[in-house]
Chains A and B, each alone.
Chain A
Amino acid sequence: MTASPALPARPDAAAPILAVRDLKAHFRTNHFGVKRYVKAVDGISFDVRRGEIYGLAGESSSGKTTLIKTIAGAIKPPLEVVGGTVDFAFLPGYGGLHRAPPAEVARIRWRHLSYIMQGSMNVLNPVRRLRATFADFARSHIDASDRQFEQAVVDHLARVKLDASVLTAYPHELSGGMRQRATIALATICRPDFIIADEPTTALDVVVQKDVLGMIRGIQREIGSSVLFVTHDMGVHAHLTDRLGIMYAGRLVEEAATAEIFRRPLHPYTRHLISSLPRIGDDIQRKGLEGSPPSLADPPPGCRFHPRCPLAMAACSERVPDMVETEPDHRVACFAVNGDQAP
């Protein structure tokens, strides 16, 4: 077996809307003589199926932001894609946005692929009224008269419980919650096939958070998009996502249906993530994990989790465990779970 095998073909399931294969994206910097080479995404493969919300979990330095940047084609130096492919069903044949011709990318952006970004406070141009922002993003994708377009925007705003008057407002004139909702409306105005949501609820207070999650879920159901939902908050995943991938130090370590992962986590790191979730009526002292996530500039050899792993064996520090489908739809990369596959 190679380090990252192709996933087995699945004739029974419909073709995935997104297929990521052995993706590697690294940062290369050299500043005042300090060279850094950060393997932020190091050989990741997964599928997102049509109509599902796929969750991506991991700590803040696990490389999940880099992963979705790469998938989204937002690749700027010092970040570079070293290998692997990103295939969207609506952009076939190129192996990723970063390889497709700009005109093609411009065509699919927003129409097929949109984003809800982290820090919705700052994603709207502060010196532009919302009407202009909506036109900038969506006008070229919607074939309608100006008046019809305006009406479509107003109708869509109503879905997120916003009044048409926000269109004449500047972002700073809206409250935080309103801005968040406007951003969701902006991201879904073209009824995209695929939405990437990067920590959209972090930094929101709990009540607003619930509101926003419900809204994303509602719109997703209504327009039938697929969503790649990224957050470190396992509680949000439990609440929202259909399937869940767990990232650790630039690699995917486990993937299964969200309910399955919460019921039967296999990877020691996943177990740690889930056991550290607070539960009502539970007053056992939780035992923390020793150490901290490794620096991606200088990761440990073999399985990157082994220095902190309670189940670490000799093989863990020598070779990288493969993602193995231990049960249907449940993949995990761990020698302790799968046994040492070495010859």
Chain B
Amino acid sequence: MLRILRDLLRYNPEFRIGIVLVGFVLILSVLASFSPYPPDQVYVVPPDVPPSPTYWFGTTSRGQDVFWQLTFAIRNTLLFGGTVALISRVLALVIGLVSGYKGGWIDRVLMSINDTFIVMPLLPILVLFYFVMRDSMSWLILALIMACLGWAYDARLIRSVAMSLKTREFTQSSVFSGMSTREILVQEHLPYVMPIVFSTTMNNMVWSIGLEVTLSVLGFTDINTPTIGGMIYWANQHTAMVAGIWWWIAFPTAIVVMTFIGLFLLAVSMNEYIDPRSRLSRMGGAS
């Protein structure tokens, strides 16, 4: 694993840029722990101050320091994306591996359901969900429901890997040596599937954070937990753009774009690394 990281860092510019961007965003999110202001209090600093040495990213019309507010927002946003990715990974792995390995009618049924979730327009469903839940909506509930809706595409990818693994010799010998399906999947196949799981994690985070930003910009989430989308929502509520408080919108936007591009580049470079053709050209020459 460390060697992979070293190789990628040394030879893949996309990976380098991705690491720098994601690293920056991560550091920002860690800084939240050192914030002098609690995230949920308003009017702790003078409102509408443009960026200055005192308030690096300026202050909002609600009297919050944009920089420190942003650290909380990005931390929550990343936490949200991570939670969705983690839960949906479990679902995608289980369904993808079982479907690919078992084949037959199990595969057909699982993949029909899978394809259904792939084409389903999720935003209206999430909006309906918010409409029903209203004030009971928390980011954790949203993360849960998005994880339950967002595993399908990756399950298909994992299934195709599992299907190709199934025909390999070592699977057959495991079958003959009396291993159970669960043992084969966990001990033999999981390691081969991990790289693709990693790259889909990045893509899944891009997807879930994108939807979360969208929902919270519209005010369809728990707007009292600071997230990137939530910040933009409040800025819109105070017509920050018209009032010329550009920094209230510009900085969250810049950070979220950095996050997206960073995660995406990581996924792209991982994909290139696990691509069988490029893996082939890396092999053998080690001598």
Binding site for B on A (CB under 8 A): 29, 31-36, 295, 297-298
Contacts and interface: CB of A to CB of B under 8 A. Distances in A.
A34 B279 CA distance: 11
A31 B278 contact: yes
B41 interface: no
A33 B287 contact: no
A292 to B, nearest CB: 14
A33 B284 contact: no
**Main SS of chain B's interface residues?**
helix
B10 interface: yes
**Most B Cβ at <10 Å: residue of A29, A31, A32, A295:** A32
B281 A31 contact: yes
A291 B30 CA distance: 58
Nearest to B7: A32
Interface in B272-287: 273, 278, 281-282, 284-287
Contacts of B8: 32
A31 B8 CA distance: 11
Contacts, number: 32
Contacts of B176: none
A296 B7 CA distance: 25
B286 A33 contact: no
Contacts of A32: 7-8, 10-12, 273, 278, 282
Closest 4 CB pairs of A and B: A36-B285, A34-B285, A31-B281, A32-B11
Contacts of B12: 32
Nearest to A38: B285
Chain B, interface size: which category?
A: 10 to 19
**Most B Cβ at <10 Å: residue of A29, A31, A35, A36:** A31
Nearest to A78: B281
Contact of A33 (B10, B273, B278): B10
A32 to B, nearest CB: 5
A21 to B, nearest CB: 30
A33 B281 contact: no
Nearest to B272: A32
**Most A Cβ at <10 Å: residue of B8, B273, B285, B286:** B285
A298 B10 CA distance: 25
Contact of B7 (A33, A35, A36, A297): A33
Nearest to B280: A31
Contacts of B278: 31-32
Nearest to A35: B285
Nearest to B281: A31
A34 B286 contact: yes
A295 B284 CA distance: 9
Nearest to A37: B285
Given A31-B282, A32-B12, A36-B285, 12 more contacts: A29-B281, A31-B11, A32-B10, A32-B273, A33-B7, A34-B286, A35-B285, A36-B281, A295-B284, A297-B285, A297-B287, A298-B287
Nearest to B12: A32
Contacts of B286: 34
Given A32-B7, A33-B7, A33-B11, A295 B287 contact: yes
B122 to A, nearest CB: 33
B179 to A, nearest CB: 33
B274 to A, nearest CB: 12
B38 to A, nearest CB: 47
Contacts of B281: 29, 31, 34, 36
A297 B284 contact: yes
Contacts of B10: 32-33
Contacts of A36: 281, 284-285
B136 to A, nearest CB: 50
Contacts of B284: 36, 295, 297
A298 B285 CA distance: 10
